[in-house]
Amino acid sequence: MSTKKSALGKGLSALLENSDTDITSKTNSPASNQLLSSISRIPLIQIETNPFQPRTNFNKDALLELSQSIKEHGIIQPITVRKLGNSKFQIISGERRFKASEIAGLTEIPAYIRLADDQSMLEMAIIENVQRSDLNAIEIGISYKRLLDECELTQNELSTRIGKNRSTISNFIRILNLPEKIQAGIRDNLISMGHARALLSFETEKEMINAYDRIVANQLSVRKTENLSKKSNTTTPTVLSRYEKRMQAELKMNFNTNVKINKTSKGNGKILITFKDDTDLNRILELLDN
């Protein structure tokens, strides 16, 4: 069994196979006895979509293809819902199958029925969709962030729940800091996750967008994008002003060693202080401490 399946089993099955989340374990009414089998058939008009669904875009052509398959073969994998009240259900996972069933003209759909609070709803939707579906990177990032913020999980806890390492989770969340234009490009598959990570290394939003436009226009590879980033972050020395030169000379005299101010055209830079050995380093550190 793969690591991915193992991680999914630990997260999803712990919620779906626990008797405490099963509607059939909560009542013995005649109506509920019809739910004693693992799968029930529910009218589509009694089902509403999941507000915690991480997927926001459903490809129309793919839905039409799935609806045609459903017409020919029926629903292969039942959806999972929770019971809200009298004859009302809410989708936990399987919204794509639900939408395709509507297009196919079905009046009912096979479903697992469970009880779940809102936190479990969110966790179940994330685990089901992130592990099994092709969410885009923005949707995944938003989903991870909601789990961290709304369910108050740490990155370590989230890593355990979904079977992903912390660096992967961090990268998906970091791309949410990119400008909206770039996020739209990720969502629409104009650039890859690799491009997005490279764009994060640019210092300003303007530089990110300029680089993004070049990537899309010229279909640049991730490696070429990384090279653009390196060139952008390369410091360009500039001539020091009279004041800066005088301060550089004073620092040399105060520290009794060579001191150089390196400044770029952007106004940033660094001060380099030379030392000969450990004793000289300690001498300079003492002066700095004073």
DSSP 28: -
Residues 96, 39, single domain; the answer is yes
Indicate whether 199 belongs to any domain: yes
Residue 7: CATH number of its domain: 3.90.1530.30
pLDDT of residue 203: 78
Indicate whether 174 belongs to any domain: no
Residues 12, 37, single domain; the answer is yes
pLDDT of residue 116: 65
Give the residues across from 113 on adjacent strands: 81
Per the listing, tokens 């819902």 go with 81
Dihedral sign for Cα 285, 286, 288, 289, please: positive
- Does the pLDDT value for residue 36 go beyond 70? no
Q: Which amino acid is residue 150, in one-letter code?
A: E
Residues 230, 264, single domain; the answer is no
pLDDT of residue 268: 73
pLDDT digits (tens, 9 = 90+) for 162-209: 888 888 899 999 998 898 889 889 988 899 999 999 999 887 888 899
Indicate whether 248 belongs to any domain: yes
Residues 20, 84, single domain; the answer is yes
Indicate whether 143 belongs to any domain: no
pLDDT digits (tens, 9 = 90+) for 43-81: 999 999 887 676 767 888 889 989 998 998 888 778 888
- Alpha helix locations (H) across 91-221? 95-104, 118-132, 137-150, 155-162, 166-174, 180-187, 193-199, 205-218
Rg (CA), the chain: 29
Residues 57, 84, single domain; the answer is yes
Can you state the percent helix, strand and coil of the chain, rounding each to 5?
Answer: 55, 15, 30
pLDDT digits (tens, 9 = 90+) for 214-265: 999 999 898 988 888 776 665 556 788 888 888 898 999 889 999 998 877 6
Dihedral sign for Cα 169, 53, 66, 4, please: positive
Distance separating alpha carbons of residues 44 and 99, to the nearest angstrom? 10
Residues 185, 252, single domain; the answer is no
Which of 187, 202, 234 finishes a domain? Answer: 234
Residues 113, 188, single domain; the answer is no
> 218: which 2 tokens?
């010229």
pLDDT of residue 163: 84
Look at the chain and report how many structural domains it folds into.
3
Indicate whether 112 belongs to any domain: yes
Give the residue numbers annotated as catalytic, written as ranges: 95
pLDDT digits (tens, 9 = 90+) for 127-172: 777 775 677 888 888 888 878 876 778 888 888 888 888 888 999 9
pTM score of the predicted model: 0.49
Residues 203, 266, single domain; the answer is no
Structural domain for 250, as ranges: 242-289
Of the chain, the percentage scoring pLDDT greater than 70 comes to 77
Distance separating alpha carbons of residues 116 and 121, to the nearest angstrom? 6
